[in-house]
Structure 1
């Protein structure tokens, strides 16, 4: 009987974790869409985002160190690889 109870608890816990991961994933996708739209608006208006933390990234780009710039961008912002690559390319 105890094993059945533990199995049920494990299944419920797994379902709860899966539900939370799904919500987080959905939120991440929504946030990425909003960021892309904001980037398009800024580009359309001819504006650039000036984050003082990105000076180092810009300097790496100027020195031809694009991969290091992407890595540093990720470290500074917590962005994913694709997002960081796109952002660094916009900076360059």
Structure 2
């Protein structure tokens, strides 16, 4: 009977130690993540963590298949279910915002690019060919 109590006590002790060591690791990881985020913000770096997301994931997301997008993201990145779900949520929110901004954005032209475009506008392949095959006078 005493042997069973010792085994149960050791098991409970092991579970508690594992639980507390995991939570301290999670807390340390979260602190490091917050520090990196603060450094990125302070330096003014435009950080786009999901910029290279595979096209299959984005097309599934655009067609409204959130679960399929999560599965595909997990397949391509090897992320856990929680990480993939967070990534897809981030992509959903930012893609909606970027589409709204893109829709309202006016094209920007500076004077030089407008001047260059105006200069090259009359030159088309038809004009070039017509100019090349004009009969030369005086020969």
- TM-score of the alignment, normalized to the shorter chain, above 0.5: yes
- The RMSD of aligned alpha carbons is 3.1
For residues 33 and 71 of structure 1, the distance between their equivalents in structure 2, rounded to whole angstroms, comes to 29
* 1:70–1:85 contact (8 Å) kept in structure 2: yes
1:10 match: secondary structure: helix
Larger Rg: 2
Structure 2 unaligned blocks of 5 or more: 96-139
For residues 15 and 73 of structure 1, the distance between their equivalents in structure 2, rounded to whole angstroms, comes to 38
- Tell me which residue corresponds to 2:109: none
Q: Structure 1 residue 38: deviation in Å?
A: 4.4
The structure richer in helix per residue is: 1
- Structure 1 residues 30 and 88 mapped into 2: Cα distance closer, same or farther (>3 Å)? farther
Q: Structure 1 residue 69: deviation in Å?
A: 1.8
**Number of equivalenced pairs:** 86
- Structure 1 residues 6 and 26 mapped into 2: Cα distance closer, same or farther (>3 Å)? same
- Tell me which residue corresponds to 1:77: 79
TM-score of the superposed pair, with normalisation by structure 1 = 0.60
- Tell me which residue corresponds to 2:65: 65
Higher relative CO (Cα under 8 Å, sequence separation at least 6) belongs to 1
Q: Structure 1 residue 74: deviation in Å?
A: 4.6
Structure 1 unaligned blocks of 5 or more: none
Q: Please, which of 20, 28, 31 is the counterpart of residue 22 of structure 1?
A: 20
- Structure 1 residues 16 and 51 mapped into 2: Cα distance closer, same or farther (>3 Å)? farther
* Mapping for residues 1-92 of structure 1, pairs under 5 Å: 3-35=1-33, 38=36, 41=40, 45-50=45-50, 54-55=53-54, 56-74=56-74, 76-80=78-82, 83-91=83-91, 92=95
